[in-house]
Amino acid sequence: MQVLVLNSGSSSIKFKLFKMPEETKLCAGLIERIGHRDAKFTFSTQKETLQLTRDIPNHKVGLEILAKKLLHKDSGIINSTDDINIVGHRVVHGGKLFRDTTEITQAVKDKIKSLSTLAPLHNPPNLEGIEVAETIFKKAKQVAVFDTAFHQSIPDYANKYAIPIDFSEKHSIRVYGFHGISHEYVSEKAIQYLGKKHSKIISLHLGNGCSITALKDGKSMDNSQGFSPINGLIMGTRSGDVDPSIIFHLAEKYDYSIDEISTLLQKKSGMFGLTGYNDLRDIKAEAKKGNKACQLALEMNIYRIKKYIGAYAAVLNGLDAIVFTAGIGENSSYMRQHICEDMDFLGISLDEEKNNFDSNTGIKAIHSDTAKVKLLVIPTNEELEIAKQACDLLANNLN
């Protein structure tokens, strides 16, 4: 069974092709700067990595280049586009309409489109990827895996905002939670590691976007990204938690438009807004050289994460494990060390030597021998999770 996974953004498509159920990655890559004459196509297999720069005006042309490459006799991955059995699509917002992974029909596409008001930056390109894939991989089953679906288990007392209930209902306002595919993948691995039936886990997805999830027995109980992915932790360019009256203040007193404020909070804030850099490696290097803004931004970032860990440990009434994942979680020993500092009252104690490991394949346990709480670094694999969920869905549909 060949499963192609697509993550279609407004100007990019990430892809991975798996042989399932073996979970063998056949190829992976990225189409970037779609809509530009100098768009980039990166394609890698076990044998080669290739990069092309060419005019890719839209998603259709991008996926056609991908199909051509898959079919090329040198790569020898498929003989016909009909060899692809399933295309699994990451769809960011499933709203209240999708609690589960779903086979795509016209009705499903209409619903994904209707949810674009909740995710204007994400759902339209996700849908475009689906529609183009349908025309290229005609025999494949198309399956949508939603980033919000995993968080549908968040209980009412945690998923509601304290605004009039009829208002929330009418305008679909609630905590949706995001990065669900990643939190689900790493928490399943953590549960296997713990080897116990009941578990209390905090999962930290720290990448360009950041979110933290409280999980009880594998179910999401809360997530720091609420109604939208702006909320919660300090991210690459997103502010995380802010008092909403800052928005009124900027609009009423200083005449900023809603568009300007939205751009400010989503694209010009977070670590970038605080320092001028959004890559943590640059910020850390600058902080080391004495850059005060970078030092403060790191302290703020770490403080916010610790605050959420404390809150979620209370939500769970205990803690078995903290999982670190995504670009920063998997690679920054500095962040992991400082997040875990002075948290011994919760049973958190990090082993510095174990924390400074070299490679990040597989699960790395970085807690000290006597620690109550396991500290686990688990590389996320959202694409594999999508492939697995799509295969499970279709196997269940056949049974």
* Active-site residue list: 147
Beta bridge partners of residue 325, listed in sequence order: 205
Q: Please report, as residue ranges, which positions from 159 to 178 form the binding site for ligand AMP (by CB under 6 A).
A: none
Q: Return the range that interacts with ligand AMP (CB under 6 A); candidates 138-146, 244-252, 297-305, 320-328.
A: 320-328
* Residue 375, strand partner residues: 322
Does the footprint of ligand AMP cover residue 274 (CB under 6 A)?
no
Q: CA-to-CA distance for 350 and 217, rounded, in angstroms? A: 24
CB of 206 to ligand AMP, least distance (A): 7
Angle at 4 between CA 113 and CA 179, to 5 degrees: 55
Q: Name the closest residue to ligand AMP (Cβ).
A: 327
Residues 276-315 that bind ligand AMP (CB under 6 A): 279-281
Burial of 77 (0-12, 13-18, 19+ CB in 10 A): middle
When asked if residue 327 is in the footprint of ligand AMP (CB under 6 A), the reply is yes
Task: Please name which of 20, 2, 126, 127 lies closest in space to residue 70, comparing C-alpha atoms.
Answer: 2
Among residues 95, 232, 236, 270, the one that binds ligand AMP under rule CB under 6 A: 236
Asked if 103 touches ligand AMP (CB under 6 A), the answer is no
Range in contact with ligand AMP (rule: CB under 6 A) among 146-154, 243-251, 324-332, 382-390? 324-332
Choice between 78 and 271, CB closer to ligand AMP: 271
Q: Does 326 bind ligand AMP (CB under 6 A)?
A: yes
Which residue in this structure is represented by tokens 């790493």? 186
Residue 14 vs 200, nearer CB to ligand AMP: 14
Smallest CA-to-CA distance from 208 within 283, 144, 119 is with 283
Instruction: Kindly state whether residue 207 participates in binding ligand AMP, applying the rule CB under 6 A.
Output: yes
Q: How far is CA 390 from CA 94, 101, 102, 140, 212, in A?
A: 16, 7, 8, 12, 25
Helix (H, G, I), strand (E, B) or coil at 346: helix
Q: Is there binding between residue 224 and ligand AMP (CB under 6 A)?
A: no
273 lies in the binding site for ligand AMP (CB under 6 A): no
Interacting span for ligand AMP (CB under 6 A) from 66-74, 216-224, 296-304, 326-334: 326-334
**What letters, b where the CB count within 10 A reaches 16 and e where it falls short, cover 274-305?**
bbebbebeebbebbeeebeebbebbeebbebb
- Residues in 328-367 that interact with ligand AMP by CB under 6 A: 328, 331-332
Q: Angle CA(216)–CA(183)–CA(330) in degrees, nearest 5?
A: 120
* Residues near ligand AMP, by CB under 6 A: 207-208, 236, 279-281, 326-328, 331-332
